[in-house]
Structure 1
C-alpha cells in the first residue's frame, strides 16, 4: 500500500450503503500511496478506528485491481456497522495515522475584505481537514492577545472530536460562518 515511500491515505468524501451485498462503498480522492484489491485498511477519525478489507475498487465506472494517488475511487468494504463510518474520516494504511484533538499550529488570517475578523483566545472556530469539518477552541500563544486580519500567529487548538492529523498538514478555518484563513499543524500535543 505504498507508492513513493508514503503510506496509503484517502479522505472519505461520501459513502453509499449497498444492502444487496451488505457492504459500503466509500468514495474519495486518494491523497497518497497505493491500494490493491484485498488490502487491509484502517478507518480513522472521530474517536474510532476499524480494520477492514478492500473487496472492490471502482474507478471511472469500472472495477480495477489497484488505485494510486490522484485517483477518485470508490472502495467497497464489508464488516462495518451503519454509523461506524462517516464523511470526514480517512482510510489509511494500518497504523500510519491516528486521531488527535489537541495540536499547535501556525495560522494566517485573510484580509477583512475576504472575510477575516480578529481572533482572540477562547473563540470557537470551524476547522477543515480534508473532508472533515470540526469545531474547536483556539488559544493564542507567544503573548498575543488578538490576531488581526492579514497577520500570522502561533496557536494551540483543541478540537471537539479526534481528527486524523500529521505534522505539516494544512487546514482551512472559518470564523463566525465565514472563511477566515488557513494554517499548518506544527506539533501534535496529545
Structure 2
C-alpha cells in the first residue's frame, strides 16, 4: 500500500490564527493519505484532542479541494482556539493514531566527534519525533549498564508528554544539548486514553 492509500496523517509545523477565536490555519507536510475539504480530522498528541472538520485546504497560496501524501499544505479549521493546537501534534483520520507516553526502540549513538556521550539508565534525553520535541527518561535492559558512542542497543523511553507514535517510526535524540543518536520505535507503550 503506497503512502496515498493509507489513512491520512499530517505533522503540524506551524499554527496561524486567521480570525481570533474563529479560524485556525495549521501548516505542515502530509505524511500519508488524502484529505478533502469537509473531512473530519483528529488532533493527536501533546495534550491535544478533538475532532474538527477541514473548512479549506491551501497549497502554494491557492485553494484546492484535496491534498495527498508529500504535499505541504495549510488546513483551515473553524471552531478551534489557536491555543488548542501546537507544533508537534499531528492531524489524522479519526481513530487511526494514538498518543503514547512510552516506547521501546533500537537506538544507535553517534561518535564522540559528532556529539554523542555515554547513555545510562535514568538519563533525560530530548527526543525528536516528527515535528514534536519531548523530554524522556531512558531505561536500558538489566544486562546493559551503559551505551557508549558508536554502539547500538535497545532502550525503553518514558516521555514527559504524550505524542503520536507508531511502530517503525524514526526518532532522534539529543543529550546535554548535543545531537547524540537516532533509532527506530519497535513497540509503543502506555497509550493515553
**Coarse TM-score class (shorter-chain normalised):** over 0.9
Q: Residue in 1 aligned with 2:156?
A: 156
Residue segments in structure 1 that go unaligned for 5+ positions in a row: none
Q: 1:126 to 1:18 in 2, by over 3 A?
A: same
Q: 1:143 to 1:20 in 2, by over 3 A?
A: closer
> Residues 131-146 of structure 1 correspond to what in structure 2 (within 5 A)?
131-146=131-146
Q: Residue in 2 aligned with 1:111?
A: 111
Q: 1:49 to 1:20 in 2, by over 3 A?
A: closer
> Residues 63-102 of structure 1 correspond to what in structure 2 (within 5 A)?
63-102=63-102
* Paired residue secondary structure (1:28): strand
Q: CA deviation at 1:47?
A: 2.7
**Structure richer in strand, relative to its length:** 1
Q: Residue in 2 aligned with 1:122?
A: 122
In the alignment, is the contact (CA less than 8 A) between 2:11 and 2:29 conserved in 1? Answer: yes
What's the CA shift string for 1:48-97, capped at 9, x where partnerless?
Answer: 31100000000011000000011000000012123211110000010000
What's the CA shift string for 1:104-157, capped at 9, x where partnerless?
Answer: 111100011111000000000000011100000000115100000001110000
Counterparts of 1:153 and 1:20, CA distance in 2: 48
> Residues 21-60 of structure 1 correspond to what in structure 2 (within 5 A)?
22-60=22-60
TM-score, normalization by structure 2: 0.94
> Residues 149-188 of structure 1 correspond to what in structure 2 (within 5 A)?
149-188=149-188
Counterparts of 2:48 and 2:4, CA distance in 1: 28
Q: Structure 1 segments of 4 or more deviating over 4 A?
A: none
TM-score, normalization by structure 1: 0.96
Q: Calculate the aligned-residue CA RMSD, in Å.
A: 1.4
Counterparts of 1:67 and 1:50, CA distance in 2: 21
